[in-house]
Amino acid sequence: MVELDFNLERDVPDLWGKVILVTGGTAGLGASSVSLLAKRNPTCIYITGRNSEAADNVIEGIRRESPDSKTKVKFIECNLTNLSSAKQAAEYLLARESRLDVLMANAGIMATPPGLTKDGYEVQFGTNHIGHALLIRKLLPLLEKTAALPGTDVRIIMLASVGFVMAPRQDGIVFDQLRTTQDYWILGPWQRYGQSKLANILYARELARRYPSITTLAIHPGSTPTNLNGGLSLMDKSVSWVGTLGQSQTLEQGPWNQVWAVGAPRDKVVSGNFYEPVGINSEDQLNSHALNQTLAEKLWDWTEKEIKGYL
């Protein structure tokens, strides 16, 4: 197991007054992050997911662990494979809040079999990138409004991965095939995953460039035995194991990097950059695709056209 330097009280200040949204907050790293953040007393944490029963279990667990916390934890149903659902989730929050301080784009899938979202996109790209992009774009006006308030520090935290290196070498993102299952690569599940995680990094960089009042960070959470690994085939589990050899983290360590990203001092982070556990600026680990400004702009423009009808 790796040794990581993280202390919740030291690294995350008191969050009272802040409103936080965590996608995929009903299980895995999302639920663990919510549990830690609740100990720092934000006013409200919204968690999204598909399962209200799982959300109830997370909320009840927080009440048991942090009985003195004043934080309200609320559930918003959201299926990121369905753009209509992502739109409704954003509008639900917009109707109830006058501020949003942190948007943690945590939900995701990894190395899944070939498939399409409800809207016809390759399922990993549609879930990990497009669904989140729509949610972010719908909530950007509220994030910007909050950033204009005195003393605020508004953040978008994109859960990326070092798995971005598995994206297709020639193109990085194969735009003209994103409405197919892309079931033609040798390591198909991982290349499709890498493509979606590359998109997370590029989108974070472009958000940072276009919206400088908001601190946007791309975060690699590390290798943790969460439910993401549960549905993998034996071969894909082997690929995951080899790729993270010597880098395994405990379940306790799993959420540390993304929680660190909520509280890291603004003058100690660079908006748009990529961070590995815990708080290590890993820009020098990015390849030519991840640093390609032209590709980032192309992704932004392509995404805007795809989600235009839902904004």
User: Using an 8 Å Cβ cutoff, are 63 and 39 in contact?
Assistant: no
Residue pLDDT, tens place only, 4-52: 999 999 999 999 999 999 999 999 999 999 999 999 999 999 999 999 9
Catalytic residue from among 121, 193, 203, 211 = 193
Residue pLDDT, tens place only, 244-259: 444 679 999 999 999 9
Classify residue 176 as exposed, middle or buried by CB count within 10 Å of its CB (0-12, 13-18, 19+). Answer: exposed
Is residue 121 part of the annotated active site? The answer reads no
| CATH code that applies to domain 8-310 | 3.40.50.720
**Measuring CA to CA, which residue among 150, 23, 149, 175 is closest to residue 86?**
23
Quote the CA–CA distance of 144 and 130 in Å, as a whole number.
21
**Measuring CA to CA, which residue among 106, 74, 68, 132 is closest to residue 228?**
106
Catalytic residue from among 121, 197, 211, 275 = 197
Q: Where are the domains of the chain?
A: 8-310
Give, to the nearest 10 degrees, the angle between helix 83-94 and helix 132-147: 20
What's the pTM? 0.93
Is residue 203 part of the annotated active site? The answer reads no
